[in-house]
Structure 1
Amino acid sequence: MSTQTTDHKIVVVTGASSGIGRGAALEIAARGMGVVVTYNARPEGAERTVEEIRANGGTAVTLPLDISRTDTFPGSMNALSGLLSSEWGADRIHALVNNAGFGGGRSFETMTEDAFDAYYRVLLRGPYFLTQALLPLIEQGGAIVNTSSSSVHSGDTEPGYSGYAAMKGGLTVATRFLAKELSGRSIRVNAVSPGPTRTRLGDNAFERFPEVIDGLAAKTAFSRIGESADIGKVIAFLVSDDSAWITGEDILATGGYAL
């Protein structure tokens, strides 16, 4: 068993095997919090995240989770409870980061009901009901952070993202309402909306089509696309006590994209 005390803050980060989830897990651990790294298809990536956290003196464990399968959430909650007890001697988490997802890029003309339902299950229904399932484990004064997208804001409207952005927009609106509903337990609920960020989304789109990077970078204030650590630092701030007076917000983290 870990030597960590029971008041150690522990954060669940979904989809932390790569990209923004990985960046968030590393930055949260750097602030001294324990991290539960969830993954679905890439266990090796989750293990690498945990190994890096431990190599830097932090504590972390992995947990399999398919965000599209809400029927598995009760079992995942039980598994999480076991990990909290065995690793940290704890029975609560401080925060949940709803980050797991996949990218957009399907035109309205070619959208199918199955594709639309996949967006819904992963980007809206999944995080919504995972939050409900884990709510009994979130401590008084804890935090929830939802990864949304700059595509829900004016200035970042591109063809092919209507289904994706609709779900992210729904998650952003739900964030504001949950902030009100959970305020009785002093649980803060916020969203972070990244702009173009170098991740594995879109089947490693930036690696497969590097020629698009310069055009996107030119639309930011700092002439580069975002990195996972850029967004990870914002998420780490939002789960920390430094943001204790922020709730119900959707924070753009875009490097001034489309200003």
Structure 2
Amino acid sequence: MEKKNFVHEATQTTISIVTGGSRGLGRNTAINIARHGGDVILTYRSQAEEAKSVVAEIEALGRKAIALQLDIENTFSFADFAETVGSILQTNWGSATFNHLVNNAGHGEMISFTETTEAQFDSLFNVHVKGVFFLTQALLPLLADGGRIVNFSTGLTRVSYPGFSAYSAAKGAVEILSIYMAKELGHRGITVNTIAPGAIETDFLGGAVRDTPAYNNAFASMVPLGRVGVPDDIGPAVASLLDPDNRWVNAQRIEISGGQNI
């Protein structure tokens, strides 16, 4: 049987789609992909001005970027979104495909197991599991053979912290989904990995870790390096995972937490 070679040359310009790229870890990831020489299509749900700012920052680095509105919870919009992406790829890059999909978009709920409502549970699973599943499915015809998929999880699937039962359960499902995606898409040379950040100073949960000293100190005490993470600890790691040198990393859960709770 003839073996297919899906290796891309390091000099090839890549196009990455980063969901939730207007803020936080998605923003940092999109900018670091550009710093690594890639172009970016980023999505946002409601923060149009913030998304424009990310596009401007990427363009200042000499790379191309486009921001598209997308509500990950609205799976009925995915077919139209994929059609829009296909048109943009042809118009702006003269390409029928893109290279990387980073499923980052999401939200959190910090609420006890006993007080979690069905609506909160459904929203978390609709965004983090159903959204990732069906958006990836919709975009697969446009994803180049030899491409990469990175799904975002959380360090809270390895260790527990009160208030995150539904959120962590959803992310646990993403980790299993990633393994199956790697298995079923391997024949196209597509790798699928999961990134699991620890506690990070972002606007997640209203900036709880960033802006609340008690939370910040509590999580910092769990990290051997003595601090919580910042976006610049995560974005560069994701961008490097997309580099050709990491083509043999597949079906892995990669925790980026500074060794939290070891």
Instruction: Using structure 1 for the length normalisation, give the TM-score.
Output: 0.94
Deviation at 1:208, TM superposition (A): 4.4
Task: Map 1:218-237 to 2 at 5 A.
Answer: 218-237=221-240
SS in 2 for 1:157: coil
Which residue of structure 1 lines up, in the alignment, with residue 54 of structure 2?
49
Which residue number corresponds to residue 148 of structure 1? 153
Q: CA deviation at 1:204?
A: 2.2
> What do residues 27-67 of structure 1 show as CA deviations (whole Å, max 9, x unaligned)?
11111111001000111111111111111212111011100
User: Which of 123, 132, 141 does residue 127 from structure 1 map onto?
Assistant: 132
Whether 1:211 and 2:217 are equivalent positions in the alignment is no
Distance 1:169 1:190 in 2: 13
Q: Provide the rounded CA distance (Å) in 2 between the counterparts of 1:209 and 1:251.
A: 27
Q: Partner of 2:79 in structure 1?
A: 74
Residue 14 of structure 2: aligned partner: 9
Conserved in 1, the CA contact under 8 Å of 2:109 and 2:120?
A: no
- 1:207, CA displacement in angstroms? 4.7
Do the aligned partners of 1:19 and 1:199 also contact (CA within 8 Å) in 2?
yes
Q: Deviations over 1:142-173 (max 9, x none)?
A: 000000001001xx211111100000000001
- 1:8/1:88 contact within 8 Å kept: no
> Which residue in the other structure is 1:171 paired with?
174
Deviations 1:208-246 (A, max 9, x none): 423321221121121111111211111112222121001
Q: Which among 184, 189, 209 is matched to residue 186 of structure 1?
A: 189
Secondary structure of 2:250's partner? coil
Cα deviation, 1:78-102, whole Å, max 9, x if unaligned, reads: 1111221222111101010000000
1:257 matched to which residue of 2? Answer: 260
Q: Is the 8 A contact 2:202 2:210 kept in 1?
A: no
Q: How does 1:230-245 map to 2 (within 5 A)?
A: 230-245=233-248
Report the TM-score when normalising by structure 2: 0.93
- 3-state SS of the aligned residue for 2:41? strand
Q: Partner residue of 1:4?
A: none
What is the Cα-based RMSD across aligned positions, in Å? Answer: 1.1
Aligned partners of 1:237, 1:104: CA distance in 2, in Å? Answer: 29
Name the counterpart of 1:30: 35
* Percent sequence identity over aligned pairs: 38
Higher deviation after alignment, 103-112 or 120-129: 103-112
